[in-house]
Amino acid sequence: MSDLLLLSGGIESSAIAAWLRPSLCLTIDYGQLASQAEITSAAQICKELKLKHLVRKADTTQFGSGDMLNRKGSVHSENSEFWPFRNQLLITLGAMIAMQHDCARILIGTVVTDLRHKDGTKDFIVAMNKLLIIQEGKLNLSAPGIELTSIELIHKSKISTGTLGWCHSCHMSNFACGQCRGCFKHSEIMRTLGYER
Ligand SMILES: [Zn+2]
């Protein structure tokens, strides 16, 4: 099956790239503050893994909120990085590109700890998959890491330390700010793997 991976250049989607080697990796600049770093990271990761990479732009800054735009969060979530319907949006944009490139399945880097957001739950993946299947193209959605922690996914993927070193996780900036949820999580993972103290 030909797969399109939504590749943000973060740890989880990069691990899935190394693990499942999708036919196409897509990075979307949807207006998030860290878009340039995400594109650079994703491009380098695809180069290392010898995977096809595509970058597309859809400016949705007028629609979002939270850390990724350095705006205040939403009353609907206690998480400062919350951007309403973000995964739904990215999957939809990814599905449009998947149709153009004859990809039958979309892969997303959701892991078990992402359930702090409703669009990071198994229920969401199942519902979104169903929504895609009933439409033209009958695309599938899969989150291969949904039962795994980030560390388990990294081990399973056998991603090299060199490739992992290119990942960008900061939500706020093109340079790791060290202060956001993305940076905290990145540091925690690197510490667990023994790369950082
Ligand atoms: Zn940060």
Give CA–CA dist 138/195, Å, rounded. 42
pLDDT band (50, 70, 90) for residue 196: confident
pTM for this prediction? 0.96
- The yes-or-no verdict on residue 197 having pLDDT over 70 is no
- 67 CA distance to ligand 1 centroid (A)? 9
Length, in residues, of the chain? 197
What mean pLDDT do residues 39-56 have?
A: 98
- 44 CA distance to ligand 1 centroid (A)? 20
- 180 CA distance to ligand 1 centroid (A)? 4
What pLDDT does residue 24 have?
98
- 39 CA distance to ligand 1 centroid (A)? 16
Sheet of 24-29: strand order equals: 53-57, 24-29, 3-6, 105-107, 140-142
Residues 6 or more apart whose CB falls under 8 angstroms from that of 92 comprise none
Which residue segments constitute the domains of the chain, with CATH numbers given?
A: 3-193 (3.40.50.620)
What mean pLDDT do residues 98-118 have?
A: 97
- 171 CA distance to ligand 1 centroid (A)? 5
Contact 97, 4 (CB under 8 A): yes
What mean pLDDT do residues 60-79 have?
A: 94
- 140 CA distance to ligand 1 centroid (A)? 32
Q: Three-class SS of residue 125? A: helix
Give CA–CA dist 107/99, Å, rounded. 14
- 82 CA distance to ligand 1 centroid (A)? 14
Chain centre distance of CA 108: 6
What pLDDT does residue 1 have?
74
- 68 CA distance to ligand 1 centroid (A)? 9
**Beta bridge mates, 105:** 3, 140
- 29 CA distance to ligand 1 centroid (A)? 17
